[in-house]
């Protein structure tokens, strides 16, 4: 599935993550991450985000993430919300 309609989820608060889903600029899933803990957890955040998108059947999108230290379940929940709002 390709994302065609933009959608957002989350907030800019501590322990949360702001997710913006947009139509892909190139091919496949592109994730752009900004995070207060990018050095320690950047890789893990991308992994969770990618897995969540793939599990929901998304094959193409641009996913912008502004993370303020969200835990994995929050990241997954916010991405899920955004996908549902986009469809």
Partner 1 sequence: MTVSTDLLFSREERAKFQEKLIKQWKLPLIVIKANMPGKHKYDPFSLYAVTIIAQEVLSIIPSVHVLRQHTAEGCIVFVVCPQESLSLKRKMLDIEENHSLGRIIDIDVLNEKGDLLSRRDFGYSIRSCYLCDRPAYQCSRNQTHPVEDIESHIHSRILDHVQSSLKYQITFALLAEVSAHPKFGLVTPFGSGIHKDMNIDTFIDSIMVISGEIAKANELIFHDWTSYFDALRAIGKVAEKKMFDSTNGINTHKGAIFTLLMVIGGWQLSRTLGMLTEKIQELAVSLIRDFEDIHRKSELTEGEMQYLASGNKGVRGLALSGFSPHLMDALEFYRMVDADINEKMVRTLLFLMSRLDDTTVIKRMGEGGLKWLKEQSKIILKKDIDFWVDFDYQCHQRNCSAGGSADMLSAVILLDLLEKKEREFL
Q: Which of residues 11-30 bind partner 1 (CB under 8 A)?
A: 11-16
Q: In the complex, what is the shortest distance from the CB of residue 64 to partner 1, in angstroms, rounded to a whole number?
A: 17
Closest listed residue to residue 3, CA positions, set 56, 77, 49, 51 = 56
Copy the structure tokens of residue 45: 């955040």
Binding track, positions 36-55, relative to partner 1; x by CB under 8 A: xx--xx--x-----------
**Distance between terminal CA atoms of the chain?**
10
* Contact present, 45 and 35 (Cβ < 8 Å): yes
* Beta-carbon count within 10 A of 32 CB: 11
- In the bound state with partner 1, the residue whose beta carbon lies nearer, of 64 and 77, is 77
Which residues ranging from 50 to 79 are in contact with partner 1 (CB under 8 A)? 69, 71-74, 77-78
Q: Which residues bind partner 1 (CB under 8 A)?
A: 9-16, 36-37, 40-41, 44, 69, 71-74, 77-78, 81
């Amino acid at each position: 599935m390709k994302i065609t309609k933009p959608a957002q989820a989350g907030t800019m608060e501590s322990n949360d993550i702001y997710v913006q889903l947009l139509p892909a600029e190139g091919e496949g899933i592109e994730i752009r991450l900004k995070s207060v803990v990018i050095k320690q957890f950047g890789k893990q955040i991308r992994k969770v985000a990618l897995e969540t998108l793939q599990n929901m059947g998304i094959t193409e999108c641009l996913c912008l993430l502004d993370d303020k230290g969200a835990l994995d379940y929050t990241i997954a929940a916010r991405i899920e919300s955004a996908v549902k709002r986009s469809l």
